[in-house]
Structure 1
Amino acid sequence: MKRSRFTEEQIIGILREQEAGVPVADLCRKHGLSSPTFYKWKAKYGGLDVSEARRLKALEDENAKLKRMLAEAMLDNVALKDLLGKKMVTPAAHREAAAYLQTTYEMSQRRACRVIDTDRTSVRYQATRPDDGALRERLKALAQERLRFGYRRLHVLLKREGQIVNKKRIQRIYREERLTVRRRGGRKRAIGTRRPLELPLAPNQRWSLDFVSDQMTDGRRFRILTVIDNCTRECLALVADTSLSGGRVARELDAIIAQRGRPDTIVSDNGTEYTSNAILGWADDTGVGWHYIAPGKPQQNGYNESFNGRLRDELLNETLFRSLPHARAVLENWRRDYNEQRPHSKLGWMTPRDYARALSGESGDRAAQPGGSARTPLATHHHQGSNQPRTLVMAG
């Protein structure tokens, strides 16, 4: 609004001169006015004194201010409605929204920040983040190779390659590339407190057995016997076949013992293969304690159940098996990778093989000291009988 060069006092004085009898033409010539301006003043200020004129001017200014505020509020309301479909959570989203308001509604940066209720410093911030293109590509390649690995395990693999990167940075890139592993729906589990499993303190102290089923591309089904060392978390065997009897399980255990040594205890469920006469006779002959979990309580064999979940999630659900030899080859490769390459979260991100070597080094140091315990001898064919009772007790 153009500001007048005459104050209220001067305007009232000019009007008083006209009321005193001075012609309008002379007043306009004297003060440098036009006649329309004079009559406009007379219509607005005629009959008012100086105080009333000032009050009228103040009311006009306040009215103009209120109109301007109302117009700005309506514009802000329209702009906010336009941003309803945009998520404004991160600073980057705030910067994008502020730029949109400045471009579309010709707002200043200060006003745009006020509308979206954000700090101007975050909008003005210029990122100084280093280029992570190579790291991003390597992370995507690893995620493509390990489809069911989360960002924590991928971070461990990157550290092995010599890339010292903050885990939060890996998590950010992992989310930006949308590499998040999709969770598969699981069954409902009972709610309640359970006694935790006792953790074995040495290799071969306790093994656990279980079966996993799958099928080949032609529809034929096969079973996989999984054998786990509960201390080192090593997968000792993945035996695949269309049929696995108790005698076959006993032969596979003999083959593992020949390479690794005899376990103190084996944990399994109450399947017909494990309760057969072949397994009962094998346990008596070798002196291995066999522990059966309570029926309907798979959590008592939690180590093997957890391993079976990883096996199905990372291999069985991701692979099409053409034949039984193909399945055996793929399972053996995955078993070696699991033991020698895959970092385990419960072992401090060490592999089961490295953890077993670390334990064997510690046990060797203890055995070299006075009072150290020697390794449990293997059972031989000359072993006569067993002090283990024939009837095996099930855990309740």
Structure 2
Amino acid sequence: MIQVWSLSISRACGLVDLARSAWYRGDTAGKQAQADAPIIDALNDIIEDHRRWGFWKCFGTLRNRGHHWNHKRVWRVYRAMGLNQKRRTKKRLPDRERQPLEVPAQMNHTWSFDFMSDALYSGRRFRCLNIIDEGTREALGVIPDTSLPAARVVRELKQIGSVRGLPERIRIDNGPEMLAQVFTDWCKDKGIELAYIQPGKPNQNAYIERFNRSFRNELLDPYLFTTLSQVREMSA
């Protein structure tokens, strides 16, 4: 309208309901993008190596690298780039069917295992991985240690399997070690069925629960241990 009909800026802005300040401001979006380019490049440099880092780790790294941009400005650019991560929510377990507690007719058909926790005399916590054969009620392994991740569980099962052979099925609860991909992938590769009990129903894994009670009553509760080697020696 200004160029074609030679209207004044004030009248043209009034006709299209545009504030005159917006007219005089010009292309701020392009100027803003140009001003934020160094921040975008710096964030891309960090995210390239650390894709799961959140905002504050990225911001702290920028400060360590000598950048002094205000955190609110960096947060605006961070969000505009779509880097803000969703908060992790509690993992929902799939529905578990009730597993019948039957006595296997032969050994090595079904194993079950579970973890117990206790403490040394010094107060240091440790855990025990207890593994039994449900057919014979034989304790295949009692492994005490301060850390027993899923990879360690797989290693212990491999060691027992090299001597005894692997079972057709393993009855377990829904602990993080039993849900870990390294454990489930190994069982799938070996053709082992995983019989998960229903959450909050330890009676569905009664054989290993019975063993755990005896293990606590006869070993963990009556004795004071100062080292893990004493626990391993007594439980061997």
**TM-score range normalised by the length of the shorter chain:** 0.5 to 0.7
1:303 maps to 2:207:
yes
- Aligned partner (choices 176, 179, 187) of residue 275 of structure 1: 179
- State the match for 1:250 in structure 2: 154
After TM superposition, the score normalised by the length of structure 1 is 0.34
In structure 2, how many angstroms separate the alpha carbons of the residues matched to 1:242 and 1:195? 31
Corresponding residue to 2:118 among 193, 209, 214: 214
Question: Partner residue of 2:108?
Answer: 204
Distance 2:235 2:145 in 1: 12
Deviations 1:18-63 (A, max 9, x none): xxxxxxxxxxxxxxxxxxxxxxxxxxxxxxxxxxxxxxxxxxxxxx
Unpaired stretches in structure 2, ≥5 consecutive residues: 1-97
Counterpart of 1:253 in 2: which secondary structure?
Answer: helix
Separation of aligned partners in 1, 2:188 and 2:151: 14
Aligned length: 139
Q: How does 1:343-362 map to 2 (within 5 A)?
A: none
Q: Distance in 2 between matches of 1:315 and 1:224?
A: 12
**Are 2:232 and 1:319 aligned?**
no
Amino acid in structure 1 at the alignment position of 2:115? F
Alignment CA distance shift 1:196-1:273 (3 Å): closer
Deviations 1:159-178 (A, max 9, x none): xxxxxxxxxxxxxxxxxxxx
Distance 2:131 2:164 in 1: 13
The whole-number CA distance in structure 2 between the counterparts of 1:197 and 1:289 is 15
Per the TM alignment, residue 229 of structure 1 is displaced from its structure 2 partner at its CA by 0.3
Tell me what 2:81 maps to.
Answer: none
* Cα separation, 2, equivalents of 1:195 and 1:216: 36
Q: Deviations over 1:291-326 (max 9, x none)?
A: 110000000100000000000011111111110111
Q: Which residue of 1 aligns with 2:170?
A: 266
User: Counterparts of 1:265 and 1:304 in 2: how far apart (Å)?
Assistant: 14
Q: CA shift at 1:195, angstroms?
A: 9.0
- The offset of 1:196, in angstroms, is 6.3
Matched with 2:130 is 226
Please tell me the residue identity of whatever aligns with 1:199: V
> 2: CA distance between counterparts of 1:330 and 1:262?
26
Fraction of identical pairs, as percent: 47
The match for 1:174 is: none
Q: Distance in 1 between matches of 2:105 and 2:223?
A: 35
Return the offset for 1:331. Answer: 1.1
Tell me the alpha carbon deviations over residues 236-268 of structure 1, each in whole angstroms, 9 at most, x when there is no partner.
Answer: 000110010000000000000001011010010
Alignment deviations for residues 365-389 of structure 1 (CA, whole Å, 9 cap, x no partner): xxxxxxxxxxxxxxxxxxxxxxxxx
Closer, same or farther in 2 for the Cα pair 1:273/1:329, shift >3 Å? same
Runs of 4+ in 1 over 3 A off after TM superposition: none
Query: What is the deviation of 1:199?
Result: 1.2
Choose between structure 1 and 2 for higher RCO, CA contacts under 8 A separated by at least 6 residues: 2
| Deviation for aligned residue 1:330 | 1.0
Q: Deviations over 1:118-153 (max 9, x none)?
A: xxxxxxxxxxxxxxxxxxxxxxxxxxxxxxxxxxxx
Kindly indicate which of the two structures has a greater share of residues assigned to helix. 1
Question: 8 Å contact 2:99–2:197 — kept in the other structure?
Answer: no
Distance 2:99 2:154 in 1: 30
Q: Which aligned pairs between 1:1-396 and structure 2 lie closer than 5 A? A: 197-332=101-236
Aligned letter for 2:214?
A: R
Which amino acid is the alignment partner of residue 200 of structure 1? P
SS state at 1:318 partner: coil
Letter in 1 for 2:183: I
SS across alignment from 2:178: coil
CA distance in 2, matches of 1:285, 1:329: 33
Of Structure 1 and Structure 2, the greater strand share is in 2
